[in-house]
Every structure is written in structure tokens, then in C-alpha cells.
Amino acid sequence: MCVGVPAKVLSVSEYSAEVDVMGTKMNVGTIFVPEVVIDDYVIVHAGQAMKIVDEEYALLSIEEWRKLVDARDN
């Protein structure tokens, strides 16, 4: 059961964090992302945060899609 939308980290405890997905809050485990901090976005699966979203790459993807749209077909 994968959650598609990244969840924003509101608070961090020793092995868990409270996260917000577009206004719905839940607690998740953080053993797989021990370096997580408040305001990070994480991907959640089965009650665990599995990865911190890399903002730089998120921006790069958007750039790539824009370029793809504008590229001439060859």
C-alpha cells in the first residue's frame, strides 16, 4: 500500500515523526530515515517513512518535463 503523496514532517521524536499529507496527519516510524528533520518531505509506506524527498531533484524533474514539452520532435 504505497502512499503517492509526500508527507510533510511536523515533529520528530526518537524513532517516529508526525507527518501531514494535505491536512491529514499521522505518525510514522523513522528508522529508515534517521536524519529526518522538521519540514522535510518523506515518502510513507505501511507506517514507515522510507525516504526523504530530495528538493533539488524534484525541481530538476520539473525542468526536464518543461524541456521535453518544448523540444522539437526529430
Partner 1 sequence: MQEIIDYPSNPELAKKLLVKLLALSERYIDKYGRRPVIMEVCGSHTMALARTGLKSILKDHVNLISGPGCPVCVTDQISIDAMIELTEGENRIICSFGDMMRVPGTKRSLMESKTAGKDIRVIYSPLDSVTIAEENPDKEVVFLGIGFETTIPILAATLKTADERNVKNFSMWVTTKLVEPILRTLLDSKKVTIDGFLLPGHVSIVLGKNSYNFLVEEYNVPGVISGFESVEMISGLYKLIEMLMIDDIHIINDHKKIVTDEGNVYAQRLMQQYLEPVDEAWRGIGVIKNSGLDIKKEYEHLNAKKRFNITVGEPRKTKCRCGEVISGLISPNECSLFAKSCHPINPIGPCMVSTEGSCAAYYQYMRED
Partner 2 sequence: MSEKISLAHGDGGELAHKLIQDVFVNAFRHFEQSKLDSAILSCDADKIAISTDTFVVSPIFYPGGNIGKLAVAGTVNDIAVSGAVPHYLTSGFIIEEGFLLKDLIEIVESMATEAKKAGVSIIAGDTKVVEAGSADGIYINTTGFGSIKKDRIDPDKMQAGDSIIISGTLGDHGIAILAARGELGIKTELKSDCASLNYMIDAVLKTSDKVRIMRDPTRGGLATTLVEICEDFHVSMEIREEDIPVKREVHGACDILGYEPIYLANEGKIIFIVAKSDEQKVLDTIRDFTEGVDAKIIGEITDVGSSKLFLRTELGTTRRLNRLSGILLPRIC
Cα 45 to Cα 72: distance, rounded to the nearest angstrom: 39
Direct distance between the N- and C-terminal alpha carbons of the chain, in angstroms, rounded to an integer: 40
Tell me whether residue 56 or residue 69 sits nearer to partner 2 (CB atom): 69
21 interface partner picked from partner 1, partner 2, none, CB below 5 to 8 A per type: partner 2
Pick the closer one to partner 2 by CB: 27 or 61: 27
Mark residues 3-22: x for contact with partner 2 by CB under 8 A, - for none. Answer: xxx--------------xxx
**Measured between alpha carbons, how far is 5 from 41 in angstroms, rounded to an integer?**
10
